Amino acid sequence: MTVAQALSASGLDAREARILLAAATGFSEASVLASPERVLPLAVEKNFLEKANRRRAGEPVAYILGRKEFYGLELAVNPAVLIPRPETELLVELALQKNPSSVLDLGTGSGAVALAIKKHLPAARVTAVEASAAALAVAQRNAVKHGLDIEFLHGQWLRPVGQRRFDLIVSNPPYVAEGDPHLAELRHEPASALLAGRDGLGAIREIALDAPAHLAPGGWLLLEHGMGQDAAVRALLAGLESVQTWPDLSGLPRVTGGRIR
């Protein structure tokens, strides 16, 4: 089977087919495209078709490859962690604008947000909390891979940090409501990183209640949330000052935050 035949036989979107074939061959996408008549070794052909079968069954490309890029960092991912999304980069950008000396990332998952902040603010002390031991192991591996010094704590939201206070608390918590029709598309990702009660605000509600006691004077709380949740999140942060919502690149309300006096 040639490269062109393999891409055609995959039954996938052309872009995804090229990505998976590049992974199977070990070549770049450009190299794959440059030699459509190249005959694939049987082992490579089998590897590619297995990957294509997994993708057709709905498994995300990031899990098939075992990696995902986020804010310039290539991160290891597996079904224990939520796949980092481009829209979450807004959370990082807002965090960097605050230039904090201490940061707490709640529900770190793959470590994406904490690692991106530490990469660009190397002097900041960054702590990351995660309730899933399997997810925490992924985040720790990513930190080692990139040589970034992050303090990782195992536990639920703010419980592991004791009485400590931070200049900035960030979180991309679960915010999908039970019964949401889009859940079928997300069936390969961990439900614990997605679902947050009947209205999708359970995790945000808990963080909004407990976080102010862990903010240093003038410290900020920044929370990612879903479409249509911004007004409810602003109401939950009403005890803070300068509460506002920022849109993502699609113009959708994505992050809401406020600061303590």
CA distance 135 to 77: 9
- Compute the distance between CA of residue 185 and CA of residue 163 in angstroms, rounded to an integer: 39
Average pLDDT over residues 81-85: 97
The correct answer on CATH 3.40.50.150 for the domain covering 79-259 is: yes
Q: Residue 53: what pLDDT? A: 96
**Residue 109 predicted with pLDDT over 80:** yes
* Structure confidence at residue 187 as a pLDDT band (50, 70, 90): confident
Tens of pLDDT, residue by residue over 16-52, are 999 999 999 998 888 888 888 889 999 999 999 999 9
Residue 235 has pLDDT above 90, yes or no: yes
Beta pairing partners, 245: 256
pLDDT at 185 over 90: no
Residue 4: other Cβ atoms inside 10 A = 14
Sheet arrangement for strand 253-259: 151-154, 125-130, 102-106, 166-171, 215-224, 253-259, 241-247
For residues 69 and 246, give the distance between their C-alpha atoms in angstroms, rounded to a whole number.
23
CB 45 within 8 A of CB 3: no
Determine the pLDDT at residue 31: 85
pLDDT confidence bin for 180, thresholds 50/70/90: confident
Q: State the Cα–Cα distance between residues 226 and 183, nearest whole angstrom.
A: 13
